[in-house]
Amino acid sequence: MSNIESNIEAEPLAEFVAARVAPRGSLEQLSHVEVAQLLDRGQGGLYPLLRQCALAVLNAGSHTDDARALFDAYRDFELKIIQTSWGFELDVVNAPGVAFVDGKMIKGSKEHLFAVVRDIVYTANEIVESDRFDLTEPESITNAVFCILRNAGVLDAREPAELVVCWGGHSISREEYEYTKKVGYELGLRGADVCTGCGPGAMKGPMKGATIGHSKQRIRDGRYVGVTEPGIVAAEPPNPIVNHLVIMPDIEKRLEAFVRIGHGIFVFPGGAGTAEEILYLLGVLLDPANADQPMPMILTGPPSAADYFAQVDAFIGLTLGDEARKRYKIVIGNPAEAAKAMLAGLQKVRKHRRKTGEAYNYNWALKIPRDFQMPFEVNHDSVAALDLRLDLPLHLRAANLRRMFSAIVTGNVKDSGIRQIEAKGPFSVRGEPKLMAALDGLLAAFVAQRRMKLSGEYKPVYRLAG
């Protein structure tokens, strides 16, 4: 049996469908300029990005995390925009059949498709091309992240502090997946909503469990927020439960979105991407300006994951120190205890926000250092240039380790990274020998536990050098 959930949504690649679909409830009109932008296939035009993200979200449910395989299988996939007197429609040609039933696009797939259009148009015109934002300055970046989330309808000032972000791998064992569902169920019973990276595995399980918990409590407006970015969405397409999808411009703004809108963080077992998320959050929380910021962080999994978390905990102790280890709690094999601990943490968040007058729906007060906000362009030169030493200032140490894991994710599943590895071989990662030894042990464990890829033999995309 595969180490990944066998689910009824899974469909083989290369089943082609053509259809015309109209938006419902979001971005129902486009200007002539916006249409021209979306159809522009030239350099700087939006069509390549639109096509890439649209194909990814329509492929939700397929059993692959290889972005290149998806793009190759559907190389004839096309989108056409048809303007009408009342708005616009999309013609999709040679689209994945998994997004359709009896020739009609599934409503959830349609919502995700038009969320892509909404976010691409808004980010291009109101964020990138606008004079309102200086995307080299931390405060301006935070404002841009807020505006994208607000435009997507994710922020609601009436909501209490109860949105729990769940991080973890897309390639996890069946036992680990079932555990994530149980934690989600316990959260749902307690009225909490769930936010994840929106893909399969540990990103789907908590949402699936929460739907049952919400149903038992007769909660009909449960929120299942999926936050992704163009580079990763093809490898981790939105799972069918996501009812609020947001496409952030890059991984750094995606990570900032998580910690700005989330009130607590669960970390389930995962691979390089999960390590990246852990290092990002701890690096931010260890900034002295965030010393009083309550942010419950719980690492949890089934008994079989105890050794995994022990190794992660040891790596954090070596690289970031004991102060970092104080910022999280490890709960093994007890979903109810994990959920109770999270809800106790959310109570502290509500109390703190009420005392300080801080907004519930967006944590403006959290300081995110510039090194964690600026996009890291992954290529062989930039990875080789990373300074990985234990005597670096704490924030820079965490930021560079985060970038290193981000490079591994890029090489593992992103189309751009896969092609770079094929052309030039593995990324070369250099650093202090003691740090490299710890890193080697951690990454080797991820590979042995099949946490890097959904299926097939994993070929490392990195080479460690002392």
pLDDT tens digits, 312-332: 999 999 999 999 999 999 999
- Which DSSP letter does residue 137 get? S
CA–CA separation, 54 and 347 (whole Å): 39
pLDDT at residue 98, rounded to an integer: 87
Enumerate domains of the chain plus CATH numbers.
16-132 (3.30.1850.10), 156-466 (3.40.50.450)
pLDDT at residue 10, rounded to an integer: 44
pLDDT at residue 12, rounded to an integer: 45
Dihedrals phi, psi of 150, to nearest 5 degrees: -65, -45
**Which residues of the chain register pLDDT less than 70?**
1-14, 25-26, 61-67, 158-159, 454-456, 466
CA–CA separation, 212 and 176 (whole Å): 18
Long-range contacts of 105-112 (CB under 8 A, 24+ apart): 105/19, 105/21, 106/240, 107/24, 108/240, 108/242, 108/243, 109/57, 109/58, 109/60, 110/21, 110/23, 110/24, 111/24, 111/25, 111/26, 111/243, 111/245, 112/57, 112/58, 112/60, 112/238, 112/242, 112/245
pLDDT tens profile 93-125: 999 888 999 889 999 999 999 999 999 999 999
441 touches 449 (CB < 8 A): no
pLDDT at residue 68, rounded to an integer: 72
pLDDT at residue 73, rounded to an integer: 84
> What pTM was computed for the model?
0.92
pLDDT at residue 6, rounded to an integer: 42
pLDDT at residue 320, rounded to an integer: 95
Residues in the chain: 466
Order of all β-strands in the sheet with 78-84: 16-21, 87-96, 78-84
